[in-house]
Amino acid sequence: MSLSELVRRRPPGDPGSPGKPRGAAPPAPPAPVPTRKIGWRVRLKRDRSLLLMVTPAIVLLGVFAYVPMLGNVIAWQDYSPYTGFLRSPYVGWAHFERVFSNPLFVDAVANTLIITAFQLVFFFPIPIFLALLLNSVITPRTRTTIQAIVYLPHFFSWVLVVTVFQQIFGGAGLINQTLRDHGLGSGFDMMTNPDTFLILITMQSVWKDAGWGIIIFLAALSTVPPEQYEAAAVDGANRWRRMWHISLPALRPVIILLLILRLGDALTVGFEQLILQRQAVGADVSEVIDTYVYFQGVVYGDWSFAAAAGLVKGVVSLALVLGANKLAHVFGESGVYKRA
């Protein structure tokens, strides 16, 4: 038999078969593999080629991620590069105490979480929306052209992005200059206003990265067989219903995955973007965990402090991801990894 035949074989019970538009369920749930009944030896033997496939990745990560990760022991040391990891004196949890004892740290955590929450609501959905919109443009040339333009700002540096925004929205920028020329007052300097900073940085992020974020969703949409749309259309489902019942469910697993991973990144927000605009609005609104660690530790070559802060961040991030993953399971999603 030919394997390529299998590829073309329409999956049985497939939503693509003529029928009503399906509810918001992901494609056919995988048949549960009865793991409990099989002993681990048998499974090891059965899955040996799978394990072999994972091996190169594990080796690479083991050598280039895990070995240097051991260097984080300096978080418990009074580390000096010359003395090295082995001989630097052990100082217990002192560096961790330093991370937490500074009142600025609390502010930085608060700012970080506010920015993350805001961007989760006002940034995260935009690429999804744009992907659906683009996907509905039927002329391939228009679609690809638009796509090829909107993803380019991703490759601009933050310095350029900030400069562009300054030249448009700044106190001497295009908008304010026009207002002044027409005697409409000097308007409103968005670039130096701490109250609107959250909106400003979200606008910048959207401008820079929303187009790039589309790509992964477009890839997900391209996996939907057109027959599904056809069948739904024949059944009388309009555009909105087809988007709601076919396109969105196709995106759902990847949306959930990205959402969970974004949560894991909740403590990481645009370091470079914020550091560039820190003095324009003041540290009170722009200090986040990464900039705090940078200014308290990295600038002064205080590697131990930076390592301790990094570990704290890692633990919290991991906890957030695992928590979000659990939550996804509760809602019947597979998340990062499924329950066995």
**Is the Cβ of residue 11 or residue 121 nearer to another protein in the bound state?**
11
Q: Which residues contact 115 (CB under 8 A, 6 or more apart)?
A: 198, 201, 269, 288
| Helices 289-296 + 271-281 axis angle, to 10 | 80
Q: Does 19 bind another protein (CB under 8 A)?
A: no
**Is the Cβ of residue 82 or residue 330 nearer to another protein in the bound state?**
82
Q: Does 155 bind another protein (CB under 8 A)?
A: yes
Q: Does 4 bind another protein (CB under 8 A)?
A: yes
Q: Does 308 bind another protein (CB under 8 A)?
A: no
Q: Is the dihedral of CA 318, 324, 330, 333 positive or negative?
A: negative
Rounded to whole angstroms, the Cα distance separating 312 from 217 reads: 32
Letters for 103-142 (x = contact with another protein by CB under 8 A, - = none) are: -x-------------------------x--xx-xxxxx--
Rounded to whole angstroms, the Cα distance separating 124 from 202 reads: 10
Binding range to another protein, per CB under 8 A, among 8-16, 17-25, 111-119? 8-16
Tell which residue, 107, 62, 61, 88, has the closest CA to residue 303: 88
Nearest-approach distance from CB 199 to another protein, in angstroms? 15
Helix (H, G, I), strand (E, B) or coil at 77: strand
**Is the Cβ of residue 118 or residue 207 nearer to another protein in the bound state?**
207
Q: Does 202 bind another protein (CB under 8 A)?
A: no
Letters for 170-189 (x = contact with another protein by CB under 8 A, - = none) are: xxxx--xx--x--------x
Quick one: which of 18, 125, 282, 323 contacts another protein (CB under 8 A)? 282
* Contact present, 76 and 90 (Cβ < 8 Å): yes
Q: Which residues contact 318 (CB under 8 A, 6 or more apart)?
A: 264
Quick one: which of 120, 124, 317, 327 contacts another protein (CB under 8 A)? 317
H-helix segments, 196-286:
197-221, 226-234, 239-242, 248-264, 271-281, 283-286
Letters for 210-239 (x = contact with another protein by CB under 8 A, - = none) are: -x---xx-xxx-xx-xxx-xx--xx---xx
Q: Does 86 bind another protein (CB under 8 A)?
A: no
* Contact present, 309 and 333 (Cβ < 8 Å): no
Residue ranges in 40-59 that form contacts with another protein under rule CB under 8 A: 40, 43-44, 46-47, 49-54, 56-58
**Is the Cβ of residue 117 or residue 223 nearer to another protein in the bound state?**
223
Q: Does 196 bind another protein (CB under 8 A)?
A: no
Binding range to another protein, per CB under 8 A, among 17-25, 61-69, 111-119? 61-69
Cross-strand pairs, 77: 90
